Amino acid sequence: MYTVIKRMEISAAHRLQLSYPSKCQQLHGHNWIITVYCRARELNQDGMVTDFTHIKQLVQDTLDHRNLNDILSFNPTAENIARWLCDRIEHCYRVDVQESEGNTAIYEKED
């Protein structure tokens, strides 16, 4: 089994839609750290699990320096963002989304 891990930092804003009062309902930003984990039993024709550049393009071209509420059709929590990315990246099985030093959400596909 081959595994590749891509770690990136992006800047993006969001506001959360919550069932309770919270300052996170106001528009605010983070310097997000996103870590993508991909694996495959066999390498592709280029000798890769997936190209690091393709991962970076999806994450940065879609999310970096954006208001996430304007581009995502769901409540942009770290948990939801992690799953959304995992579902769109080839061979991805796990995504960590860190929105601040002490706050990280992880989505991992079940086998």
CATH number, domain with residue 97? 3.30.479.10
Contact status, residue 91 vs residue 38, Cβ threshold 8 Å: yes
Q: Do the annotations mark residue 28 as ligand-binding? A: yes
Question: If DSSP states are collapsed to H, E and C, what string results for the chain?
Answer: CEEEEEEEEEEEEECCCCCCCCHHHCCEEEEEEEEEEEEECCCCCCCCCCCHHHHHHHHHHHHCCEEHHHHCCCCCCHHHHHHHHHHHCCCEEEEEEEEECCEEEEEECCC
Q: Which of 5, 84, 95, 83 is nearest to 49 (CA)?
A: 5
Enzyme catalytic residues: 24, 65, 99
Tokens of 75: 């409540």
Q: What's the mean pLDDT in 72-95?
A: 97
The reported pLDDT for the residue numbered 101 is 92
Residue 22 has a pLDDT of 94
* The total number of structural domains that make up the chain: 1
Containing structural domain, residue 81? 2-108
pLDDT at 111: 72
Residue 14 marked in a binding site: yes
Reported as a single tens digit per residue, the pLDDT across 12-55 is 999 999 999 999 999 999 999 999 999 999 999 999 999 999 99
